[in-house]
Homo-oligomer: A and B are copies of this chain.
Amino acid sequence: MKIGIVGLGLIGGSLALALRDGHDVTGYDTDERARSAAKADGIRIASRLEDLLPADAVLVATPISAIVPALEQLAARSDGAVLVDTGSLKRAVADYADRAPTGARIVGGHPMAGTTSAGFSAADPGLFRGRAFLLVPTARSDDHAMAVAGAIVREVGATVAVCSADVHDRAMARLVAGPLATAAALAVAGAQAEPLVAAAGPGFRDSTRLADTPADLATELLFGNAADSRAAIGSIIEGLTQLRDALERGDRDYARSFLQTARSVRRELG
């Protein structure tokens, strides 16, 4: 397939590296440094977004705020190309698809992979291997669009899971925004463990890893889905309050049962 990739950061760069052996891949980024880095690694680079078309598929892996503008620009001349974004929120893409040109093909995508590192230098062709890659059908997703998106997901080694934009965004508040806010709250509370913070073991390190997310990206993830993020944070506060209350009244049985429930949820993840 002829595949274009917009945005050559961690996700777009990793897609480019994972797909270039089997496909005719061209990348584009508004940032000159990202273009040079990708070019130095052998990725063919277009000098304008429009030059990615015509194509069988264009993957849009820009920061969230640039996704809909890029889709708009591409959809106007996509001529059947399947446009798939890779952002971590899907309602805005689904809303755009509702008003996109009738001939456009748009599928929401979200690879459940990532690191707190950013940029093409962190890109890794194995980033998606064994991970879920969520696909969200929109008003502009026909069978052909879903088949092309699914084929690309499988080729980068990920597993397809299909859901609606609503289900996706609510779940992500629980799986991404909540953990992000929590890691930040843990790190700030952990600072009060001075002078022993540096002695922290792997438990504290793992629990706070997401706090190393660049603050702009973290803010975007929280505020881009504010109502769901608030609800997710509320559920976490509720659980912590239940444990604190159990400690206050010396109720070990309640705490043990809560911890046991949490353990079963965690164990299902494998």
- Chain A residues in contact with chain B, CB under 8 A? 112-115, 131-132, 134, 161, 163, 167-168, 170-172, 174-176, 178-216, 218-219, 222-223, 226, 229-230, 232-241, 243-244, 247-248, 250, 252, 255-256, 258-263, 265-269
Nearest CB in chain B: distance from A217 CB, A:
9
Residues on B with C-beta less than 8 A from A232 are 189
Nearest CB in chain B: distance from A82 CB, A:
22
Nearest CB in chain B: distance from A199 CB, A:
4
Task: Classify the secondary structure of A's interface with B.
Answer: helix
Report the separation of the CA atoms of residues A172 and B199 in the bound assembly, to the nearest whole angstrom.
Answer: 10
Using A219-B256, A248-B230 as known contacts, say yes or no to A197 and B112 having CB atoms under 8 A apart.
no
A179-B204, A184-B239 given; name 20 further pairs at CB < 8 Å.
Answer: A113-B201, A163-B195, A168-B196, A172-B196, A176-B201, A178-B189, A181-B240, A182-B182, A182-B185, A184-B262, A185-B237, A185-B262, A186-B236, A189-B239, A206-B206, A215-B259, A218-B256, A222-B255, A236-B240, A237-B240
Using A200-B112, A215-B260, A241-B237 as known contacts, say yes or no to A179 and B207 having CB atoms under 8 A apart.
yes
B215 close to A229 (CB less than 8 A): no
Residues on B with C-beta less than 8 A from A243 are 181, 184-185, 222, 233
For the complex formed by this chain, how many copies does it contain in all? Answer: 2
B203 close to A114 (CB less than 8 A): yes
Residues on B with C-beta less than 8 A from A113 are 201-202
Using A210-B206, A229-B247, A244-B237 as known contacts, say yes or no to A266 and B174 having CB atoms under 8 A apart.
no
